[in-house]
Every structure is written in structure tokens, then in C-alpha cells.
């Protein structure tokens, strides 16, 4: 958490402060820190890797965006989400 706060502070200096508390920049930095950026303290793994969450693909950013934009189909007969 301390490392993430340092990264956030570094980014905030460059952007001359955040204008809104709910800026998408904050969520993007959090996703980058937890899913894309390897950490020396975790032997080159991401926090997601250590938690057992795998992001497959050569471009983790693209994979995360594709997964987030995927809308599961709903079978109206069963009222359950179906992921092909």
C-alpha cells in the first residue's frame, strides 16, 4: 500500500493535482499496480499473481480491457449468466 501511495503521489505531481476525487486516473493506476506491474518484493510477480489471479495474454492491459468490456449473455429461461 505504501508503494502504491508513492506511485500515486509521483503521478499527481506530474498532472499538477487531481481535479476530481473520482478521477479514472486513480482506478487505472490501481489496476496497473495490482495486475500489470511486477514487484521486486514479490519476486517479479504482480499482487494478482500472488493472489492466484492469472491474466493470460502477451499484453495484460489489452486482456484486462477485453475482459472488462465483455458482457455476459443472460438466458432468460434460467435467469443465470452464461459466459461462452
SS3 45: strand
Least confident of 25-29, 30-34, 63-67: 25-29
HSE value, Cβ hemisphere, 13 Å, CA-based, for 30: 7
Predicted confidence (pLDDT) at residue 42 exceeds the cutoff of 80: yes
| Predicted pLDDT of residue 51 | 92
Predicted confidence (pLDDT) at residue 30 exceeds the cutoff of 60: yes
Report the candidate in 39, 23, 33 with the shortest Cα–Cα distance to residue 61: 33
Predicted confidence (pLDDT) at residue 83 exceeds the cutoff of 60: no
The domain locations on the chain are 2-82
Amino acid at each position: 500500500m505504501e508503494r502504491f501511495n508513492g506511485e500515486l503521489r509521483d503521478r499527481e505531481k506530474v498532472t499538477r493535482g487531481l481535479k476530481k476525487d473520482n478521477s479514472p486516473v486513480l482506478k487505472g493506476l490501481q489496476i496497473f499496480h495490482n495486475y500489470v506491474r511486477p514487484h521486486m518484493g514479490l519476486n517479479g510477480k504482480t499482487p494478482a499473481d500472488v493472489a492466484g489471479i492469472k491474466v493470460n495474454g502477451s499484453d495484460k492491459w489489452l486482456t484486462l480491457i477485453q475482459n472488462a468490456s465483455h458482457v455476459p449473455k443472460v438466458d432468460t429461461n434460467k435467469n443465470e449468466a452464461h459466459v461462452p
